[in-house]
Amino acid sequence: MDIQKFVARRKALKISQVKLSTGICTQATLSKFERRGRVPSLAILEQLCGRLGLTVDDLNESRDHSVTQVRAQLDEIERQLMMENYQPVLQALKQVQVAQIEAVPLKMQFYYLSGLLKSLINGAASDVCFDFDQILDDLDQSHETVFTPLAYVGLGVMYSRLAELEKAQFYFEKVLQAIEQLMAAVADQDYLRLLTMIFYTAEYYSMRADFATSNQLIDDGVNLCSSQHVTYYLPRLKYLAAANAIERQRPAAEIQQLLSEAVAFARINHNQVVEVKTAALRSRYLRASKRA
């Protein structure tokens, strides 16, 4: 990040640190940014740049190529994580040098992906919390970006898998609130992340046997997939819908339809994980039906 460009613009406009920071942050925060390179939250930095007639991207122009490369790298990792390809994600994250990432949004994306992966593969709780603390306690202190509720998702998944359900409930309730807000006006670049929130929250409430909440979230997710013309999450949503239907002892025709849809969308998206899980679920369902 070209902090000198920021300082030069402030001085050229003859704006003091006190005046520039008023109503945005403390003068100490601005001073640490200019003198020590301590980057504040994205929301603060955007406001400071705005007062100087700059954008955050202006400060990163000299690194445009590397920023573009890192963004593409992290976006591909995020896509693989949505497909449940955990081993490639694990290897790809090891190749990312987070200390070299200066753009705050990309740092948050890295820590979100790293933390969520560790939650999903039962990584150490301390490692999971460390990743999400980087977002919640540092990079997004004001909790204004989409990465805050995504961090809550990861923490909810972790505590759910540790069977600490009171803590899991605490975080998933926060995610539910975020989903309601984002559904009203989701940004184009964030709808896939909203689907991530929807799926894992629906999965959690299914595990708690709150099928009404789970199914409502599934419906929201399917509708969002339809409106945005994306299919990444459809296999997992349909699989979860089928599992819920079995638990609720819905009619056989409805269950078979959902199972078939899960397989169909899994094949379209080359999601072998869901295809295998659906085959196993169908087999268990048929065996149970014969015994009934």
What sign does the dihedral 236-241-242-244 (CA atoms) show? positive
Domains of the chain: 3-59 (1.10.260.40), 64-230 (1.25.40), 231-292 (no CATH)
pLDDT of residue 103: 85
Residues in contact with 238: Cβ distance below 8 Å, sequence separation at least 6, in sequence order? 222, 258, 261, 262, 265
Binned at pLDDT 50, 70 and 90, residue 62 comes out as low
Is residue 45 within 8 Å of 35, Cβ to Cβ?
A: no
What rounded mean pLDDT belongs to the chain?
92
Percent of the chain with pLDDT over 90: 75
pLDDT of residue 65: 47
pLDDT of residue 63: 57
Is residue 50 within 8 Å of 82, Cβ to Cβ?
A: no
Rounded to 5 degrees, φ, ψ at 126 are -65, -35
Binned at pLDDT 50, 70 and 90, residue 96 comes out as very high
Distance between CA atoms of residues 231 and 200, nearest Å: 16
Q: Find the DSSP H helices in 22-164.
A: 27-36, 42-51, 56-59, 64-82, 86-94, 104-120, 125-134, 147-161
Of 234, 260, 256, whose CA–CA distance to 246 is shortest?
256
Binned at pLDDT 50, 70 and 90, residue 99 comes out as confident
- Asked if pLDDT for residue 220 goes beyond 70, the answer is yes
- Largest Cα separation within the chain, whole Å, is 82
Is residue 269 within 8 Å of 83, Cβ to Cβ?
A: yes
- Asked if pLDDT for residue 178 goes beyond 70, the answer is yes
Which residue's entry shows tokens 């990465």? 147
Binned at pLDDT 50, 70 and 90, residue 291 comes out as confident
Q: For residue range 30-61, what is the model confidence (pLDDT) as tens digits? A: 999 988 888 898 889 999 999 998 888 888 76
Tokens of 205: 């409430």
- Asked if pLDDT for residue 189 goes beyond 80, the answer is no
> How many beta carbons lie within 10 A of that of residue 238, not counting itself?
25
Binned at pLDDT 50, 70 and 90, residue 188 comes out as low
Q: How many CA atoms lie within 13 A of 216 on its CB side?
A: 8
